Every structure is written in structure tokens, then in C-alpha cells.
């Protein structure tokens, strides 16, 4: 009699544990995670990247629509190949990295969620904060859930990986970055793309 209760309960607990949302840590020990930015300029487009990425995302493979999280990019890690451009970029006139050390995106909701195998696409809405200005934006996002693949990346580690790819564009004026200035030299629109992998380690 007791067994009739215990077995379904145990199964339920096992299924619940298996399907529980997982918290993925995006501090990448391999340093591959990156955010790329690109903006037009007269002589050549300015392309740079940032590598100082941290944050966590709670992802449930059984229910990707419930995904939440926050990704933070260290402003100081923004790099362009030209040293003078980099100096300007970090300076108080542009990003003011000393005053605003973080660029972040925090999810609010996901819409149009479609899952095909281990890939989920959706439109993510969240708060993007840059140069001390927070604005809600919506962008297409792609999640790739790589079950049991953490060990393939980090030897002796066990767990899963979650790869997130998102592309969107912002206007620097919206974030009070040299508003109305230098429009003939640096484009207002900035293309941003984020390619990051987070790890969920199991004991």
C-alpha cells in the first residue's frame, strides 16, 4: 500500500529535480565570451569588443519561456584596435567608464518562444543600461542548451552549457552619449552582438 504512494512520489521528485530551472554562470574561465560593437565612421567603421562579461541566467530546458537573468559587461573591458579611439571611448566625454563601470541587460520577459531540439529562439525584452541610462529594449535571442557538455570545455567538470546569442542596435543619443555631437564623425546607431556561454556545474 505504502509502495503505491512512495513510487509515484519518488518519480515526481526525480522528474522535478531533473526539470528544475538551472542557474548558469556566465563568468567564462576560457575567456571566449564576448560582446562586439560596431558603428559607422567616415574613414572606416569602428569595431571593438568587450570581454569582461559576468552574470547569471536561470534557464529551464523544459520551460525556456520562463528564462530570467542579468548579464553585465565591464565598461573597462571595451577595446578597439586604435589606442586613441580607445582612450576617447573610455573618457568622460563618451562612455565615462570610471563613472559608469557596468553595461548591463536584465531580462523582463520572453515572447515568441520556439524550441527545436536544443535550440530555442525568442524575442527577449529587458532593461539595457548604458552610460547610466536604463531603457527597455526587445531583441531576438537564441539559446542553445548543451546538456552534459561542460566537461568537454572544462576538464573534469560535470554539467551543462547554455549558449546565448543576441543582436540588437541602439542609438547612442538615447543613452546621452555625445547627444547631437559628432554625428558626421561617429554614427548614432551602434550595432551590438553578444555571444556568450554559461556553465551549470553539477556536483
Partner 1 sequence: MKKALRLLALVVALAAVTVWAATGANRGWTKTSVPVKTLDEVTGIEGITYQKKFLPGVDFLAVAFAGALVLAGASLFFRRRPANTKQPNNP
- Chain residues that interact with partner 1, rule: CB under 8 A: 30-34, 36, 43-44, 47, 49, 51, 79, 81-85, 144, 146, 149, 152-153, 161, 163, 195-197
Q: Is the dihedral of CA 101, 103, 109, 115 positive or negative?
A: negative
Q: How far is the CB of 80 from partner 1 (least distance, A)?
A: 9
- The nearer residue to partner 1, 61 or 175, going by C-beta atoms, is 61
Q: How far is the CB of 34 from partner 1 (least distance, A)?
A: 5
- The nearer residue to partner 1, 129 or 160, going by C-beta atoms, is 160
- The nearer residue to partner 1, 31 or 180, going by C-beta atoms, is 31
Q: Write the CA distances from 78 to 11, 35, 131, 141, 188, integer angstroms.
A: 49, 9, 13, 22, 18
SS3 (DSSP) at 11: helix
- The nearer residue to partner 1, 36 or 201, going by C-beta atoms, is 36
List 114's β-bridge partners, or say none.
Answer: 121
Alpha helices in 99-190 (DSSP H): 150-153
Amino acid at each position: 500500500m505504502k509502495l503505491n504512494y512512495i513510487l509515484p512520489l519518488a518519480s515526481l521528485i526525480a522528474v522535478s529535480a531533473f526539470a528544475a530551472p538551472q542557474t548558469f554562470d556566465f563568468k567564462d574561465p576560457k575567456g571566449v565570451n564576448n560582446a562586439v560593437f560596431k558603428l559607422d565612421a567616415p574613414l572606416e567603421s569602428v569595431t571593438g569588443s568587450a570581454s569582461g562579461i559576468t552574470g547569471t541566467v536561470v534557464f529551464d530546458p523544459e520551460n525556456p519561456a520562463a528564462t530570467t537573468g542579468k548579464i553585465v559587461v565591464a565598461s573597462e573591458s571595451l577595446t578597439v584596435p586604435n589606442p586613441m579611439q580607445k582612450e576617447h571611448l573610455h573618457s568622460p566625454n563618451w562612455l565615462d567608464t570610471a563613472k559608469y563601470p557596468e553595461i548591463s541587460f536584465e531580462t523582463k520577459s520572453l515572447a515568441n518562444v520556439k524550441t527545436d531540439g536544443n535550440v530555442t529562439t525568442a524575442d527577449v525584452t529587458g532593461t539595457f543600461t548604458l552610460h547610466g541610462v536604463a531603457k527597455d529594449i526587445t531583441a531576438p535571442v537564441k539559446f542553445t542548451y548543451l546538456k552534459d557538455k561542460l566537461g568537454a570545455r572544462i576538464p573534469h567538470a560535470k554539467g551543462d552549457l547554455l549558449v546565448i546569442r543576441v543582436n540588437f542596435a541602439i542609438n547612442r543619443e538615447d543613452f546621452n552619449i555625445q547627444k547631437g555631437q559628432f554625428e558626421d564623425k561617429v554614427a548614432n546607431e551602434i550595432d551590438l552582438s553578444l555571444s556568450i556561454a554559461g556553465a551549470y556545474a553539477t556536483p
